[in-house]
């Protein structure tokens, strides 16, 4: 089994000016469901474009109406979605002292959020840990440096393939998928990747619900992890 993950972010990681930061994404357990979702999402985009957008306009959450965002989100109803909500007020100030520390925390948050979603799929029988061969992760491209991308990939491999070791407590945590071959991490242009745009809508939906304090209903549709 190969797992495919598409993710995006919403908000600004800056506690002095922003309260919430969010990751959101979609998880597919085979390419058939991924392609079916992509077709549905493109059809929803075409329906929206027919009214007032050109064929070259990218329908990002920040550019379209709430009604249009809801239509796109509904096209994702039957697919697995996950998110991470970071309440920045409770993050230690030292995390924001350097770009590297900020990126390390965001990598940790993303890794934990994805892990919680995959653990849920294991628990409900959708995924067998001994059958997972590869995880392919596609994220919206941003300004992360090359070494930062390498560190994220390495952290994901430790969590899912190799296991992690906590030196403070002298404790080893086994990987979720010990027999897997590897993890692929690719940063993509959302204009060219339909499901990155879909992940943008998921992240924005979680962010909006967080700001309005109405996440309870959304939790029935999305596996959401809260940090810290």
pLDDT at 70: 95
pLDDT at 144: 57
pTM: 0.93
Nearest to 157 by CA among 131, 130, 176, 139: 176
CB 200 within 8 A of CB 61: yes
pLDDT at 170: 86
Distance CA 5, CA 143 (A): 20
CB 157 within 8 A of CB 25: no
Distances 69 to 12, 21, 27, 38, 54 between C-alpha atoms, Å: 20, 19, 20, 16, 17
pLDDT at 61: 87
Helices 31-52 & 66-74 angle (0-180, nearest 10): 150
pLDDT at 64: 87
Burial of 174 (0-12, 13-18, 19+ CB in 10 A): exposed
Distance CA 67, CA 85 (A): 23
- CATH code (residue 117): 3.30.420.10
pLDDT at 53: 78
pLDDT at 207: 97
Pairing of β 164-166 and β 171-173: antiparallel
86: enclosing H helix or E strand:
strand 80-87
Distance CA 188, CA 147 (A): 17
Count structural domains, the chain.
1
Domain range enclosing 52 = 2-226
Nearest to 22 by CA among 85, 89, 109: 85
Mean pLDDT of successive 10-residue stretches along the chain, which has 228 residues: 97 92 98 98 91 76 90 97 96 92 94 97 97 96 66 93 86 93 93 94 97 92 96
């Amino acid at each position: 089994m190969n797992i495919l993950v598409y993710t995006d972010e919403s908000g600004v990681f800056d506690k002095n000016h922003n309260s919430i930061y969010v990751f959101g994404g979609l998880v597919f357990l085979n390419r058939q469901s991924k392609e079916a979702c992509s077709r549905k999402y493109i059809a929803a985009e075409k329906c929206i474009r027919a009214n007032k957008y050109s064929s070259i306009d990218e329908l990002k959450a920040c550019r379209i109406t709430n009604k249009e965002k809801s239509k796109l989100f509904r096209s994702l109803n039957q697919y697995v979605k996950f998110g991470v909500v970071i309440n920045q007020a409770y993050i230690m100030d030292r995390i924001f002292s350097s770009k590297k520390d900020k990126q390390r925390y965001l990598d940790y948050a993303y890794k934990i959020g994805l892990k919680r979603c995959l653990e849920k799929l294991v628990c409900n029988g959708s995924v067998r840990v001994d059958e997972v061969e590869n995880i392919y992760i596609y994220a919206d491209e941003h300004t992360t440096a090359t070494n930062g991308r390498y560190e994220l990939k390495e952290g994901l491999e430790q969590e899912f393939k190799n296991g992690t070791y906590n030196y403070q407590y002298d404790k080893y945590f086994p990987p979720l998928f010990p027999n897997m071959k590897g993890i692929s991490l690719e940063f993509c242009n959302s204009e060219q990747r339909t499901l990155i745009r879909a992940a943008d809508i998921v992240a924005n939906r979680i962010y909006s619900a967080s700001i309005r304090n109405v996440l309870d209903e959304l939790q029935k549709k999305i596996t959401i992890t809260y940090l810290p």
